Structure 1
């Protein structure tokens, strides 16, 4: 049996139903089993009983009771298990920062952060046992899309996870992204405050602007332009909705280059060949360290991104630059 698990809701996991959160995090836990565990009070949120349809928020703690591994009842699989050594060796070369509280990785394109349909063990969460210390595996406190590269922060212990998640919840964290977008943005800098909701058939869902959606706010700043054809932009999401930056840029008529889901896949009018990779990079994160000062970590811009900017004549910012220095 696994012991009691205390799962902290990540910064971009809030706002969803509890049962959906549980099914995503523990795919072997059936809906019926979830309902029974909730009805008997074995699964709790911040120590309180909760309905399956109840909304969870970032920073809350979800108690998962001891359950049989596997079995007909759909228990939670044991979290510590052998990992793919080749993938793990590759990921260990991508460590940007590591101490007793925080682990920061440079996530490559094509690697999902968590499992899903058809992924098997080919996702980052399946490799985290290889980073475990004293039997405790790192905990995800936020996510990046599968094809987004760059800075990904993990907590090495429960207290650090709570502190980091609280920093995200209180907007004490600055997450800067770089993106190449198609077209011409309406202003050199601006704020996008458009609510987003998931729409579409299963397997084809995407986030769309909707009055009944969740609050979503993003800041952008143009760093360089290729006339009206494309621009290099810095992005700072103020909230953490799924596909937020991708959906917001598309809503402005300037989808991210290479993002076929949101209209950025066709790039025949741009110099070079950019349809094979989404040009969205989690470039820099600045946040309070759980125990000491401020943590400021940048991920090097990937070679594919650098090549695209060179072909488009777009100049990348220098390391350590702060495009939003004048924004509180």
Structure 2
């Protein structure tokens, strides 16, 4: 079984990453801010505008350490990719299925059914854990709609219809997500999903978390030999990791949404962790990003029993395991792609 290694997050905006004697060195001018052995890392996420040395980028590509660059506000910029891994026949099979709307739908519908089922259980868990603090009947109605949509998605044979089911169900889910926010309601009111840019603190948290999740999914797909840029539900678009966006669908609610809401409810994330720009965009501050990513890393170390493998694994390995299951389906070892189903 693959082991979960460390992720290095670099938040200092004017820092520069270099390689020295198999160590990642974080520099601020002539001052060394930190030194980390490369062999202990599987991801490096830099939120600095100064970048990294070619030597470090080459070493990361050679050792399969995912190196990703973001703006200081958390907007994705680029990933460093090394030599293509995996069997060429596997990727050709991926491309063939992606070119077929019918074959693409057979995979995408299980991912969306998993997403809607997991979203439903996020709501159900709230009615169980906080029956006196939430509108149980409202959440139950939304849960019923998500259940029906998940069943319809599981048998859908058209990508257009599938996208319609997912979009309508996502709207119903986000319509009641505010019910799950139990603290700091004056600062954290959620009235609906907004992105590019996020227009309130909750959306800023969700967007940042989705960005981290997309990176983890892209790195997992690269690790198992798949092309993260060629998806089944999300179609080809230059520069977009479409398959990573497909893979993360079933994990959005149970990983990012629950973590964001928990951090609000326990007051780890507060109003001081956000800044509003002139155009109305709301972004996490550096301290806010540090608080979220610290909780993100702790969450990835927590273990659970994988519902398909029936083995205890860290949360951080779920994208990698799901990528492996997708490979097994593409190779013909499984009759269908088994989505990750949480309760």
* TM category, shorter: under 0.3
Instruction: Looking at secondary structure, tell me which structure has more strand per residue.
Output: 1
Instruction: Looking at secondary structure, tell me which structure has more helix per residue.
Output: 2
Normalization by structure 1: what TM-score?
0.26
Normalization by structure 2: what TM-score?
0.25
| Greater RCO (Cα-Cα under 8 Å, separation 6 or more) | 2
